[in-house]
């Protein structure tokens, strides 16, 4: 264990969250994972030492196995600051595949049944990683393209400019149903449009880039905080434990602390671990209100249309219309609607009125309130608010 764990990283804000998990690979009630630590050493053995089923999210930025046979130069013969570190060198594809299988299996063991994993890579390795993930039982949810708006050009002019990297987002297995995906929050922050699987974000540069005393990059593949922020905001909540088995410069830990998540970082290089610890120490967590996830509609208590009638918000015999007042349906005492002799739910009558196979009756049907039309979903919101007040 490195001195990074007993230094700056230990000072990260902690949030107490009581969680249990179970899986075929671990105990039914997992012991809490360590929180806000940087563990120095081999990621496979250290992950095998974690309690099975104890982490909520994994972000992994493994070696890409770039297979550089020689130095890269620009047209003026100056050297390109490429990745040529020993940690990115493997004897052959078989060696890389064996390493990939080991660390993925160890990460999967540490994941809760509801946990998900993001693995980022380039064309050198991501397809091999994806195949191995499927072999191990992971269930791929999305592949996400990180489009770089300032990529490094292809100096030789023999290939397309490598302007993106790929992330695989996967559940622990195909039976995972309750994994975290903050759909509504992402949509609200994206002009009320669904978040797409292509993310246009800049590479790490400027003051965010860690440098040593000589002004050189501390880590050659430091990821931008904006990328990690979107990952964590997408698939975790405040208080969750995020595992990064290739911690590097500590971007995952820095973003986790700012967003009030907890982290476990694993890094075998002492220089990287110390730089990450110092970096995280400088981070101030955001307020709880700033990172609170808005409740999703799926998590809201179910309210039947009949409840609106029973609460006196709509009277039997009242007429509902669509927003353009082309269709009219009568509210029945039993909570159904009557439309041209057809009796059915708000959804079926709405679909019939439009000649469609399905309809969200809560937003289609409107009632008159103070001289204007409003969706009956507003009345459902009143019921839900009264339920929350009664808790």
User: 124-128, 218-222, 226-230: lowest mean pLDDT where?
Assistant: 218-222
For residue 381, give the 3-state DSSP assignment: helix
User: For the residues of 168-181, what is the DSSP string, one character each?
Assistant: EEEESSTT------
Contacts (Cβ under 8 Å, ≥6 apart) of 70: none
Composition of the chain by helix, strand, coil, percent to 5: 30, 20, 45
Question: For residue range 234-267, what is the model confidence (pLDDT) as tens digits?
Answer: 999 999 999 999 998 899 999 999 999 999 999 9
For residue 30, give the 3-state DSSP assignment: coil
- State the pTM of this model: 0.70
Contacts (Cβ under 8 Å, ≥6 apart) of 52: 23, 25, 26, 27, 30, 109, 110
| Mean pLDDT, range 288-307, rounded to an integer | 82
Output the pLDDT for position 296: 66
Is 60:117 a contact under the CB 8 Å cutoff? yes
CA dist 70 and 54 (Å) reads 42
User: 62-66, 202-206, 349-353: lowest mean pLDDT where?
Assistant: 202-206
Instruction: Categorise residue 89: left if φ over 0, alpha if ψ from -120 to 50, beta otherwise.
Output: beta
Count other Cβ atoms within 10 Å, centred on residue 368. 13
Nearest to 231 by CA among 355, 18, 58: 58
User: For the residues of 276-345, what is the DSSP string, one character each?
Assistant: HHHHHHT--PPPHHHHPPPPPGGGSPP--HHHHHHTTSS-TT-EEE-TTS--EEEEPTTS-EEETTEEE-
For residue 213, give the 3-state DSSP assignment: coil
């Amino acid at each position: 264990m490195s001195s990074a764990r007993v230094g700056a990283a230990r000072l990260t804000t902690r949030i107490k969250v009581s969680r249990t998990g179970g899986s075929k690979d671990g105990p039914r009630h997992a012991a809490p994972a360590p929180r806000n630590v940087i563990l120095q050493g081999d990621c496979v053995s250290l992950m095998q030492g974690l309690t099975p089923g104890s982490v909520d999210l994994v972000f992994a930025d493994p070696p890409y196995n770039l297979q550089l046979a020689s130095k890269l130069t620009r047209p003026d013969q100056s050297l390109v600051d490429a990745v040529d570190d020993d940690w990115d060198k493997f004897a052959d594809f078989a060696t890389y595949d064996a390493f990939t299988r080991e660390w993925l299996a160890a990460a999967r063991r540490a994941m809760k049944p509801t946990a998900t994993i993001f693995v980022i890579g380039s064309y050198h390795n991501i397809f091999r990683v994806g195949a191995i993930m499927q072999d191990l039982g992971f269930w791929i949810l999305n592949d996400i393209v990180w489009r770089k708006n300032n990529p490094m050009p292809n100096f030789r002019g023999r290939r397309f400019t490598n302007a993106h990297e790929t992330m695989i987002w996967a559940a622990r297995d195909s039976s995972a149903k309750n994994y975290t995906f903050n759909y509504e929050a992402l949509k609200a922050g994206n002009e009320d449009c669904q978040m797409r699987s292509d993310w246009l974000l800049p590479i790490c540069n400027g003051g965010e880039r860690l440098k040593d005393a000589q002004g050189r990059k501390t880590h050659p593949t430091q990821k931008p905080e904006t990328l990690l922020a979107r990952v964590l905001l997408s698939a975790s909540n405040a208080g969750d434990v995020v595992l990064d088995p290739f911690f590097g410069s500590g971007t995952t830990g820095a973003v986790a602390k700012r967003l009030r998540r907890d982290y476990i970082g694993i890094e075998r290089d002492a220089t990287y671990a110390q730089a990450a610890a110092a970096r995280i120490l400088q981070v101030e967590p955001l307020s709880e209100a700033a990172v609170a996830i808005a409740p999703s509609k799926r998590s809201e208590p179910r309210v039947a249309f009949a409840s609106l009638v029973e609460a006196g918000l709509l009277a039997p015999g009242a007429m509902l219309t669509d927003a353009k007042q082309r269709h009219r349906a009568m509210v029945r005492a039993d909570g159904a609607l009557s439309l041209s002799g057809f009796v059915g739910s708000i959804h079926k009558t709405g679909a019939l009125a439009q000649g469609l196979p399905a309809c969200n009756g809560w937003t289609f049907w409107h009632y008159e309130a103070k001289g204007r039309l409003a969706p009956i979903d507003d009345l459902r919101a009143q019921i839900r608010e009264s339920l929350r007040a009664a808790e």
